Amino acid sequence: MKKPIALITGATSGIGEATARLLNDKYRLIICGRRRERLKKIQGELKSETQLLTFDVRDRYEVFSVIASLPDEWKEIDVLVNNAGNAHGLDPIHEGSTEDWDAMMDINVKGLLYVSKAIIPGMTKRERGHIVNISSIAGSEVYPNGNVYCASKHAVDALSKGMRLDLNKFGIKVTSIAPGLVETEFSEVRFKGDTERAKKVYENYEPLKAVDVAETIKFILNRPSHVVIGDLLILPTAQASATLVNKNPNLGFY
């Protein structure tokens, strides 16, 4: 029997890349992102049959046309991992940049919707599928200067709940995963390439690694057909909330 197909957005780094590597043995993978060279390199290292798709999730026409261009035998997507996203900036609300706000709402919220819109109708038709949305602890808590990023992840949480309700009658599973601090390229993007500042976010405690979240995704996807993990919070042991991290010495949050 053919392996099921999983499409992962944001597979060029961090959680998405780690998930692609872990699902490699059990799934045919469609790995997505903007950085084509990275996708090619990852594709070369994966054992499974893989398609790579390059698109910016902000561009709805590109999202629909690129996903529609998949060969017929790749169109029946069983698992969608909506992972592409980032924080842009960490500024108080009165000083935030509108470009950063646009980026976060367009990528984290509207981008997730566009990809979902391209894939969910196939799932409803086949009456099967599993959507895994990568939210954040910022989807249920708000921290100083996190304003718009937190709003975007609160929206992801609401969308997961909405999907779960609307797709219930089709037997489609919907999972929302909310990680705490994970050491990836996330902070480099948030701080616009300031690697020193980014490094500090993960100093003096042990943050999650991308593979920790990927292993959780693999576990969730492996549940029997009558079981769905709905909402899952995963934190580094040193983290108790969005604003309390046991650092040694305690350097405060950011």
Distance CA 144, CA 166 (A): 34
Q: Which residue is nearest to ligand 8X3 (CB)?
A: 136
Q: How many residues bind ligand 8X3 (CB under 6 A)?
A: 6
Residue 10 or residue 96: which is nearer to ligand NDP going by CB? 10
- Contacted by 89, from ligand NDP, ligand 8X3, none: CB < 5 to 8 Å by type: none
| Active-site residue, 149 included | yes
Q: Check 143, 149, 205, 254 and give the catalytic one.
A: 149
User: Considering the rule CB under 6 A, would residue 42 count as an interface residue with ligand NDP?
Assistant: no
Q: Which residue is nearest to ligand NDP (CB)?
A: 14
Q: List 31's β-bridge partners, or say none.
A: 8, 52
User: Considering the rule CB under 6 A, would residue 216 count as an interface residue with ligand NDP?
Assistant: no
Using CB under 6 A as the binding rule, the residues of this chain from 172 to 211 that contact ligand 8X3 are 181
Using CB under 6 A as the binding rule, the residues of this chain from 105 to 144 that contact ligand 8X3 are 136-138
Please state at what angle helix 210-221 crosses helix 14-23, rounded to 10 degrees: 50
Binding site residues, ligand 8X3, CB under 6 A: 136-138, 146, 181, 242
Catalytic residues: 149
